[in-house]
Amino acid sequence: MSIGHVKLGELIKAARHDNLEALKLLPDAVDLSRVGRLPFVVAQSPTSAHRVLVEDAESYRKPLIVRQVIVDGLGENLFTLDGERWLARRKPIAPVFGLNNLDALASLIRATVDDVVATWTSGEIDIQEAMTDIALEVAVRGLLGVDEHSAALASDVRRAFEEILEWVSYRFNEPLSPPPMVPTSRNRRMKRARAELQRAVRALISHRRPRSTESFDILGQLLHAQTESGGELTDEAIIDECIGFLFAGHETTASTLTWALYELSLRPELQDAVAAEGRQLDGTAEPVSPIVEVLKAMPVTDSVMHETLRMYPAGITIGRSAKRSTQLAGTTIRGFTLVMIPVYAIQRSAELWENPDDFDPTRKHNEAEGYLPFGLGPRRCLGARFARTEMTIAIARICSHWTLSYQQDQPPRPITAPSLRAEGTLNLNLDRRS
């Protein structure tokens, strides 16, 4: 075991300028770094990350600052709950993301992506904005089951959610900014948007409940789980979970899709191979054709997705707070110590990956060797399977319709906002494939 040390002042100064640059201050080839004299350590090795997230997960909880920002903006959901409340909430929700409805959801994702890219025209496009539109459209259709009777509600959901997302991003990057109870203009806008979003989802619930048939979308599954659970899932809990899934299922997915298409735009031959796999989805009729089986025969697209998740993890860190004294990397971690797992740094470590800053889809992506874009252990992302399915379909279908190229002199600069995004716009050139 090895312990490194980081000066707190230098870390704070670097983080205010650039979170990714701050990670470069971490010493190489150590398991754990102590930050100044504060109860703050950085678990830098896959072994230490596994210890915190899997082997000794019961000794840790989500940090208060993370939980509070998410609760203030999105309500109480699986992302913020801990202990018995988290277990009670997770039990009826976990089956919602099982395999039973995955093929129907995959058909919906494919249709949604095709609908959106059919509106594109040749020329330059801000691919980051376009991927945000696609991810949010998939979210309101696949998560909330929006149909022709609730299109107006979908518009309300999108407008309110974008306002909340801006507020959450600001709070994470400016943790000393005034809390929600202070009536700043930003806080007032967030509260109005949150109330509007809650009203929109509540209206969807009222619209959906009279239906006699079970639906495959996430909201429909939650309403079914509410009936089966004997009332353990209240309407308010369902509203909070839907808003939480909108956040996790759209923001992080848009980030990954953006970077995947950027990397493909630099590699025409790889892009052609992905496009060929995407055309396998042309003949799948929804919702009964086994799209999930077709996805298994798309290894190039799958490898592109995994390598993108390695190089550009949407969440660059995972935070935990020790509930009690415990052992980590041969040292004692006292209660209330903040433990940060630098996912971005681990997944680009020269100690773990050969040429880590090179985009190489032929790599093996092994969780035990430092691949953890969805986290690990009991708190691993519940919607990981849904997200991987969505990203694979979207990457393949976009490339099957369009050829993408990057024609700027400089590569885009990654920033956290709150997921890993490109600073400003990321423009790609589109040419329709014959």
Structural domains in the chain? Answer: 3-432 (1.10.630.10)
Q: What is the model's pTM? A: 0.91
Instruction: Identify which of 60, 250, 46, 53 has the alpha carbon closest to the alpha carbon of residue 142.
Output: 250
pLDDT band, very low/low/confident/very high, at 13 (cuts 50, 70, 90): confident
Q: Which two tokens stand for residue 396?
A: 């393949």
pLDDT band, very low/low/confident/very high, at 154 (cuts 50, 70, 90): low
Q: Give the model's pLDDT for residue 288.
A: 41
pLDDT band, very low/low/confident/very high, at 213 (cuts 50, 70, 90): low
The pLDDT tens digits for 266-319 are 999 999 999 999 999 986 544 445 788 888 889 999 999 999 999 999 989 999
Q: Give the model's pLDDT for residue 423.
A: 92
Residue environment code for 416-427, b if the CB has 16+ CB neighbours within 10 A, otherwise e = bbbbbbbeeebb
Q: Cα–chain-centroid distance for residue 259?
A: 13
Q: Give the model's pLDDT for residue 214.
A: 61
Q: Picking from 82-86, 327-331, 334-338, 384-388, which range would have the lowest pLDDT averaged per residue?
A: 82-86
β-partners of residue 431 are 403
Instruction: Identify which of 68, 59, 13 has the alpha carbon closest to the alpha carbon of residue 339.
Output: 59
Please state the rounded mean pLDDT for residues 350-375: 92
DSSP characters for 63-103? -HHHHHHHHHHH-S-TTT--HHHHHHHHHHHGGGGSSTTHH
